[in-house]
Chains A and B, each alone.
Chain A
Amino acid sequence: FGERGKLRALVINDPDFQHEDLNFLSRSQRYEQAIRKSSLMVMKLREHGIADPDEIYWFKSFIHRGRPEPLDLHLGMFLPTLLTQATPEQQDRFFMPAWNLEIIGTYAQTEMGHGTHLRGLETTATYDPATQEFILNSPTVTSIKWWPGGLGKTSNHAIVLAQLYTQGQCKGLHAFIVPIRQLGTHEPLPGITVGDIGPKFGYDEMDNGYLKMDNFRIPRENMLMKYAQVEPDGTYVKPLSDKLTYGTMVFIRSLIVGDSARSLSRACTIAIRYSAVRHQSELKPGEPEPQILDYQTQQYKLFPLLATAYAFHFVGAYIKNTYHRISGDINEGDLSELPELHALTAGLKAFTSWTANAGIEECRMACGGHGYSRCSGIPDIYVTFTPSCTYEGENTVMMLQTARFLVKSYTQVTSGQQVTGMVSYLNDLSRQRIQPQHVAARAVTVRLNDPVSLVEAYKARAARLVEAAAKNLQAELNHRRTSEVSDAHCHYVVVKLFTAKLSEVSNAAVRAVLTELCLLYALYGISKNTGDFLQAGILTDAQITQVNQHVKELLATIRPNAVALVDSFDFHDVHLGSVLGRYDGNVYENMFEWAKKSPLNKTEVHESFHKHLKPMQAKL
């Protein structure tokens, strides 16, 4: 945390990065602030010699206070895509100008009519061997590129995903570097229609855009050709694996898992600190009003989320490492782990983002009415985070893809093959098969106070649901309850990773409190899914009653450490952006100070009085 702290101080002490509270600015003003800070950021990165990817990430996140910004797609998609999919010649032409921001790029994949289902995209790139150019077209309204960040106003280039046609044949989706604005004047180029898609649920700083192309020509060399190629005469050369083009997406999905942890941690920090400051009602007659965090219902809302934030934090770290390990193998031509990586990131992306999404809202509601005010900061966290349920792969579809992988792995096991990685528990099923009873009936002796034993319970639940889904899929064509299968699998993975983490912690006190959180996470998950555990015979009625009881006991155990546990997330007040979640807890005074700055309060008597109220009263 030392480096991070230094970077944070660098930003917080820099007057160039100060500005008015964003809640009081219009969308245009917020965009302007973000662009201003992004431009400065690029200069300062160089000034301070910050080059390590993690350090760049932290620096950027401190400057933008965890909010999206117009250069996100340039830095997060355009540059990495050039690095992974451009030929050396293309890197020479585009990478340095892009690194120096002469070229600002975005990544234009999603269309108005198609998102997650990539094969359905309609934009076309037709190769013309006579001029050695691709002709790009948006043939229908639904094919207009829609949503890419930074596209509306900021970028002058875009990596466009389009259906490639050459020699009269469609070769599927490929990526093309397309200039969209005139260098110098920033005016759209002839044949290009580009603009902002209008206001959204959050993302006010971001100029999500649309892009329509009419017979727009680019040279053959602008197709990203590290893998697939079109030769001058139009001959198409196939890539090694079509999955490779999805590499960038897998990377972003793995980042979303970490983001789920961070966003939920921020919301928990605010809600838990505020719950220690807010007093309400009576617990004991005659005594002063207690802190609302002393109410069991409040603990029950917040502590499982706190445990979840910790759990996702460890999962995020795990998946990041796994991504780096496996992508190393891929660069060396070993694609064997790609399917599991794909299924794991897809499933965990959906599982963690859904949970965090609901959790952030729960935190907001736990702050009562004040949570609804923008000064709480939680509305902002929510609107910034919630689109991640949809972008980079809509969650339901992600869950279905993971389910398909699980069922496929199950089929492999039943045909005698071994599977590896997180699904290796399915191997046990084949041994079960020899006995007449199915896996559900297997007796698991669950010890409710032992995380390792709870991992086994979650494993049994996942196995049972995968098996049921596989049998169902054979029986009928339609997918049923498949998303639950992925859910159970991911839940197992999270409990497993959290539990595994415990043994790595050397400080006894830290290990003790993390063990409590891990138990709470696992037991709470059971109490919310009792149906699965009961129906599969993994736990008995009596054990479920005990689970519920243990959950409530853990709430009381965690209560004294609650504030310390959120303080450990180490969010600075500026980054947290919340009056309710201030480190010093001086909530009410600062709410009043904040409100006085609101635009409606700029004048003592609002102009509406003179325009509307007074004339009405005069007439009556």
Chain B
Amino acid sequence: MALLEPSKHSQGSVLGGVNPDLASERQTASFSVEKLTACLDGGEENTRQRRAVVEAIERDPAFSRENQYFQSQNERYEAAVRKAVHLQKKMHEMGWTETGPEFKYIYRAVSGDIAFLLHRIFIRSISMLGSDKQIDKWIPLATQHKLIGSYAQTELGHGTYLQGLETTAVFDSTTQEFILNTPKISAMKWWPGDMGRSATHTVVFAQLYTNGQCYGVHPFIVQIRSLRDHSLCPGITAGDIGPKMNFEHVDNGYLMLQNVRVPRENMLNRFCEVQPDGTYVRQGSQKINYFTMTTVRISLISDEVIMPLMKACTIAIRYSVVRRQSKLKPGEQEAKILDYQTQQEKLLPQLAAAYAFHFINNYLQELFNRGYREIQKNNFETLPELHAFSSGFKAMVTQYSTSAVQICLQACGGHGYSSLSGLPFLYTKIIASCIYEGENTILLLQTARFLIKCLRAASTGQPVPPSVTYLAAVKPGKCPAKNKLEFLSPKIYTEAYQHMAARLVSSAAAKLQDLIQSGVKKHDAWNQCTVQLAQAAKAHCHYITVKNFAETVEKLKTEAGIRRIMKHLCDLFALHGIFSNAGVFLHDGYISGAQMDMITASYLDLLAVIRKDAVPLVDAFDFTDKSLNSALGSYDGQVYQRLYEWAQKSPTNKQMSPAYEMYLKPLLHNTQSKL
């Protein structure tokens, strides 16, 4: 513990010790917080390393986020660029490298408030889609920041549906160049990060035309700004797309191309190539072009989704033991709001979800690392499953977490709406994840397509990936549990989820089949089933998440206290899901009305049990005060003093508002003309 004390108290020293309401919560922990933190980090050594990185970054005033909530879009952007540049220096100074073990902790340490993230995607897409020759040429330039890259895929008129992109790249064999064009306004590239003001180069996705034929969307490296004075290159129109709900530090940009010529060698050609005479040659699956996106979808889950969710839980739960309201029992002092069942019912399921998603993320990472190794060996067999997994889980986890962060915000009453709580920032940032890297509804339908295919294959005895064999194996039946305690058995609830997911997938498939057999055209039938299909895909992911949580808890090698509390969280996550989606479990009678009452009883009992460990469970996430940047959620719980102090720093309090002299004064004094 000694290791983390100094950094945690860095902001609290002037305000006195830990608020006794928060301190008392830590004395009754049923497990070792330190050991749980290590467990989340994947070992004590990782924890040590992570803390060292965080400590080094936070001690450096150049990375301070102290005034973040008071800054304008221009100031935020400038700070992000400054920090990105400074980070290069810092990494050099600390001996951290991009391939070293520290690297993955840097992003967490700077809380994502940094420019050039798309530069990394630029590098990654070249490494994956470029030939060895292209890698040798571009990667050193990029890693040394001789150029700044971006990744220009989304257009004004098209996002998730890539085939619909309208930018064109026409091969001209006489000059051995591609001619890139934005043929109409909806084809303008729109949204790419780092492109509005910073990038000098970008990977442009465009419809390839050669020898008079269209070969679909391909990536091209295009220089957009001068390396000398940063002015726009000929034929390029680019700028910032204007204010958004968040991401003020990122210069999301637009890009218009007018007869911009790039050499033939600028098409990324690991998998496809245009030869000097214009002949198009493909090697391997074209789907590989989208593999970048698939991996990005998975890699964003941890930093962009689970971290903010954990932070929101930390803030809301700590605040809920400091805030007191009304009396539970007459004559006593006002109760901590976390002692109200309604408050527990809001927050504790979100806490359980944070743990559930942490574990499913580990599972997905492993699956992808394995898949990636196969693909490098030119084995594309696992691609459909990886694609379905990345789509479905990205959609489910982002959607769930977004609403969870919103619940945390609203659970903090009025103060949750103050920017100083940190929650509006977390919320407006995480909601973007439901859209970027694939709009969630469309992603769920892609997963559904995969599930339907697998169900058909499995029903006819063909081999399917192990994760979906259950689809054809589930039989009608009833849940065997007889009392509320039996619903705390992972076998019982996992089977309930399995049954429900299989039922939803097969009934959507049956409906689809019926429509087609009754003469409805295939695509119309598909459209008429999409609401059910999306629901089925979500149910599948929910089931896998519950199953994985239960299996992870089973295998945990750590102290008994941690295993016990993790089991409680797993039970809570599972039963909360049944409680909140009662209809789909009741629908075919797998769970009866009486059993639903038992589930409700068990679920509510769990709230009271987990309540006791709520604060230690968020302490284990191990966020420093600086990374939380919240007046409500700091480690010492000095909520009100901090709110008051921070508010006084607001620019609105630093000077007399010009509004008084200009408008209020005449209004207040000029009564004659009004009467």
Contacts and interface: CB of A to CB of B under 8 A. Distances in A.
Interface in B604-662: 604, 640-641, 643-644, 646-653, 657-660, 662
Interface stretch (B121-129, B528-536, B548-556): B528-536
B70 A199 contact: yes
A117 interface: yes
A234 interface: no
Interface stretch (A148-156, A251-259, A329-337, A493-501): A148-156
Interface stretch (A77-85, A213-221, A563-571, A597-605): A597-605
A153 B419 contact: no
A66 to B, nearest CB: 18
A102 B414 contact: no
B240 A598 contact: yes
Interface stretch (A127-135, A307-315, A318-326, A474-482): A474-482
Interface string B226-242: 01011110000001111
B148 A154 contact: no
A598 B530 contact: no
A541 B164 CA distance: 41
A180 interface: no
B652 A400 contact: no
A373 B160 CA distance: 17
B524 A372 contact: no
Contact of B159 (A198, A201, A369, A528): A369
Given A390-B410, A595-B241, A620 B191 contact: no
A134 B531 CA distance: 63
B275 to A, nearest CB: 30
A482 B600 CA distance: 13
B564 interface: no
Contact of B674 (A42, A195, A588, A594): A42
A197 B81 contact: no
A19 interface: no
A541 B600 contact: no
Contacts of B417: 200-203, 386-387, 390
A548 B535 CA distance: 12
Contacts of A43: 673-674
B589 interface: yes
B325 A600 contact: no
B652 A284 contact: no
Interface string A577-616: 0000000000011011011111111001111110111111
A613 B657 contact: no
Contacts of A387: 414, 417
A300 interface: yes
Nearest to B158: A280
Which of B532, B648, B668 has the most chain A CB within a 10 Å cutoff? B668
A16 to B, nearest CB: 12
B420 interface: yes
Interface string B73-97: 1100110011001001000000000
B214 interface: no
B664 A186 contact: yes
Contacts of A27: 651-652
A39 B667 contact: yes
Contacts of A544: 583, 587
B668 A141 contact: no
B156 A115 contact: no
Interface in B359-417: 406, 409-410, 413-417
A592 B586 contact: no
Contacts of B671: 100-102
Interface of A: 23-24, 26-28, 31-32, 35-36, 39, 42-43, 46, 100-102, 104, 110, 112-117, 119-120, 141-142, 144, 146-147, 152-154, 156, 183-184, 186, 195-203, 207, 210, 278-285, 289, 294-298, 300-301, 361, 365, 368-369, 371-375, 379, 386-387, 389-391, 394-396, 400, 478-483, 527-532, 534-537, 541, 544, 548, 552, 588-589, 591-592, 594-601, 604-609, 611-617, 620
Interface of B: 69-70, 72-74, 77-78, 81-82, 85, 88, 144-146, 148, 154, 156-161, 163-164, 185-186, 188, 190-191, 196-198, 227, 229-232, 239-245, 251, 254, 323-326, 334, 341-343, 346, 406, 409-410, 413-420, 423-424, 427-428, 431-432, 434-436, 439-442, 445, 521, 523-524, 527-532, 534, 581-589, 593, 596, 600, 604, 640-641, 643-644, 646-653, 657-660, 662-669, 671, 673-675
Given A371-B435, A611-B82, 17 more contacts: A35-B659, A100-B674, A101-B671, A113-B640, A186-B668, A201-B427, A201-B428, A373-B241, A530-B583, A534-B593, A536-B593, A552-B528, A588-B185, A588-B188, A592-B254, A601-B196, A613-B81
> Top 4 A-B pairs ranked by shortest CB distance?
A531-B582, A530-B583, A201-B424, A598-B242
6 contacts: A39-B664, A196-B652, A530-B584, A536-B593, A606-B78, A613-B198
